[in-house]
């Protein structure tokens, strides 16, 4: 049994980790980390866990945690993991960080977009960007995994095969994405109150959202060129789900069959990526509660553009599910263990 500690177990991403790991055959949570609920029963913080989790929340003592567990998930605000990690801790345990601290290789880019000083830049190079479908082999040997962001997971996986095969003009790429409100976490924030979100749809972070450089960096590796995109996120009145719609000009004359063959080349054997049938478009409802990414595309011959679409559950493939997928790879377990979550409907 792998012993697991979660720092930030009381946030939305942490709670999703608890839900998924509760059903994992080879992992056991021994540390429910919290800042605000120390000594309180976890099942009193999240009552869906009544009679399922019998443990109290514990202080975020990283040194003690590193001695006790095989892997630590940090599901905490930006900057926290970077302020805790050091060589001693990494020599005792592995870390999967759900925040952005180790996702961006250029520390000055991180500091500019996040507006904070990076406290342990010496570990950035070592960290593996944990997008399993793309970096599987590197994840297997990692001590420190940077779990990708929710918008980024969806946006990158949706465009990756076409960027990699060079059939789209990367300078024309536009990513328009919508997220449910759980993406913003459990902390009370005025823009996320019921009356502000319900019956409403709003863009935010336009031209400034911190996921922009993460998408640009990863699609830059795929295409082999510097990528600069427009990324526009929107908040929509749903609990969970991300839908990314991406537009790019085609560099070649291609048919539906050509593009489908490219997606199949990369994803036909991927358990968690479902390239849909022709004319069936991704919807957040069909992936809710699961680790799937649903992807499809449409060629628009009038504009010579391709429209790529992807849907995920932000808390599962966009956070906790992907983190568990990374853990499975790091410990040589079945990559899908704990993740055989059938999407819920309605
Ligand atoms: N929500 C999502 O869909 C996604 C989130 N993420 C990332 O996951 C991380 C967690 O996000 P999310 O769960 O949404 O956020 P929440 O606000 O819901 O939870 C934050 C968690 O961090 C803990 N925490 C806050 N401040 C501190 C601190 N100074 N020291 C220790 N613990 C602290 C909180 O503890 P307590 O409540 O006990 O005070 C809580 O458990 C973030 O980095 C986020 O960007 C990534 C992908 C998707
Ligand atoms: C709806 C909403 O507010 N979503 C969050 C993204 C959550 C996420 O993936 O965040 P990290 O990259 O920090 O891990 C946001 O836009 O900031």
For the chain, the structural domain boundaries read 2-126, 151-314
Give the C-alpha separation, 31 to 59, whole Å. 9
SS3 label, residue 200: coil
pLDDT number for residue 339: 98
Whether CATH 3.30.360.10 fits 151-314: yes
Whether CATH 3.40.50.720 fits 2-126: yes
Query: Could you say which DSSP state residue 9 is in?
Result: T
Taking the CA of 77 as reference, the closest ligand is: 1
Query: What is the number of alpha carbons within 13 Å of residue 46 lying toward its C-beta?
Result: 23
Distance 149 CA to ligand 2 centre (A): 7
pLDDT number for residue 9: 98
Q: What is the DSSP string of 152-196?
A: HHHHHHHHHHHHHTT-B-GGG-EEEEEE-GGGG-SS--GGGSHHH
Q: What is the pLDDT along the chain (346 residues), one digit of tens a residue?
A: 999 999 999 999 999 999 999 999 999 999 999 999 999 999 999 999 999 999 999 998 889 999 999 999 999 999 999 999 999 999 999 999 999 999 999 999 999 999 999 999 999 999 999 999 999 999 999 999 999 999 999 999 999 999 999 999 999 999 999 999 999 999 999 999 999 999 999 999 999 999 999 999 999 999 999 999 999 999 999 999 999 999 999 999 999 999 999 999 999 999 999 999 999 999 999 999 999 999 999 999 999 999 999 999 999 999 999 999 999 999 999 999 999 999 999 9
pLDDT number for residue 52: 98
Ligand 1 residue neighbourhood (C-beta within 6 Å): 8, 10-14, 34-37, 60, 75-78, 80, 98-99, 149-150, 182-183, 185-187, 314-315, 318-319
CB–CB of 235/184 below 8 Å? yes
SS3 label, residue 134: helix
Residue nearest to atom 28 of ligand 1 (CA): 35
Atom of ligand 2 at shortest distance to CA of 235?
Answer: 1
The ipTM estimated for the assembled molecules is: 0.98
Query: Could you say which DSSP state residue 35 is in?
Result: S
pLDDT number for residue 285: 98
Q: Using a 6 Å cutoff on CB, does residue 79 contact ligand 2?
A: no
- Continuous segment of H or E residues that includes residue 43: helix 42-45
Q: What is the DSSP string of 273-340?
A: EEEPPTTPPP-GGGTTTSS-EEEEEEEETTTTEEEEEEEE-TTIIIIIHHHHHHHHHHTT--TTTT--
| Paired strand residues for 234 | 178, 203
pLDDT in tens, 114-137: 999 999 999 999 999 999 999 999
């Amino acid at each position: 049994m792998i012993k697991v500690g979660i720092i930030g177990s009381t946030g939305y991403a942490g709670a999703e980790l608890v839900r998924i790991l509760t059903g994992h055959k080879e992992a056991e949570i021994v540390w429910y980390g919290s800042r605000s609920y120390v000594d309180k029963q976890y099942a009193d913080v999240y009552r869906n866990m009544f009679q399922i989790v019998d443990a109290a929340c514990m202080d975020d003592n990283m040194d003690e945690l590193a001695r006790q567990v095989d892997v630590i998930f940090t599901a905490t605000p930006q900057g926290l993991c970077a302020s805790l990690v050091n060589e001693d801790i990494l020599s005792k345990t592995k870390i999967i960080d759900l925040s952005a601290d180790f996702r961006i290789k250029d520390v000055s880019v991180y500091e500019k977009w996040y507006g904070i000083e990076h406290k342990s830049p010496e570990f950035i190079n070592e960290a593996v960007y944990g997008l399993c479908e793309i970096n599987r082999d590197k994840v297997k040997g990692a001590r420190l995994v940077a779990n990708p962001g929710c918008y980024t997971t969806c946006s990158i996986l949706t465009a990756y095969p076409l960027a990699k095969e060079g059939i789209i003009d990367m300078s024309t790429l536009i990513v328009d994405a919508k997220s449910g409100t759980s993406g913003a976490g459990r902390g009370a924030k005025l823009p996320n109150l019921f009356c502000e979100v319900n019956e409403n749809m709003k863009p935010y972070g336009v031209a400034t959202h911190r996921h922009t450089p993460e998408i640009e960096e990863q699609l830059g590796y795929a295409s082999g060129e510097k990528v600069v995109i427009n990324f526009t996120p929107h908040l929509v009145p749903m609990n969970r789900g991300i839908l990314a719609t991406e537009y790019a000009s085609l560099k070649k004359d291609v048919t539906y069959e050509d593009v489908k063959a490219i997606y199949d080349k990369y994803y036909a054997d991927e358990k968690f990526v479902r390239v849909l049938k022709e004319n069936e478009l991704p919807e957040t409802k069909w992936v809710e509660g699961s680790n799937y990414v649903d992807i499809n595309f449409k060629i628009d011959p009038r504009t010579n553009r391709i429209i790529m679409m992807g849907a995920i559950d932000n808390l599962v493939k966009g956070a906790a599910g992907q983190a568990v997928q990374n853990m499975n790879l790091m410990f040589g377990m079945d990559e899908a263990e704990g993740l055989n979550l059938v999407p819920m409907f309605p």
